[in-house]
Amino acid sequence: MSAEDFRTIVREEVALATKHLEPRKELPHFLTRQEMMEVLRISDSKSFELLGRPDFPVCREFGVKIYTDKLFQWIDRHTTWVEENTKYYRSTS
Please list the residues that pair with 26 across neighbouring strands. Answer: none
Report the mean per-residue pLDDT for the chain: 81
The rounded distance, in Å, linking the Cα atoms of 67 and 36 is 10
Q: What pLDDT is attached to residue 17?
A: 66
Q: What pLDDT is attached to residue 71?
A: 92
Instruction: Judge if pTM exceeds 0.85.
Output: no
The rounded distance, in Å, linking the Cα atoms of 11 and 27 is 23
Q: What pLDDT is attached to residue 25?
A: 65
State the alpha helices, DSSP H only, in the chain: 3-17, 22-26, 33-40, 44-51, 68-85
Q: What is the mean pLDDT of residues 66-78?
A: 88
What digits encode the pLDDT tens for the residues 15-53? 776 565 555 567 888 999 999 999 889 999 999 999 999
Beta strand spans in 1-93 (E):
30-31, 58-59, 65-67
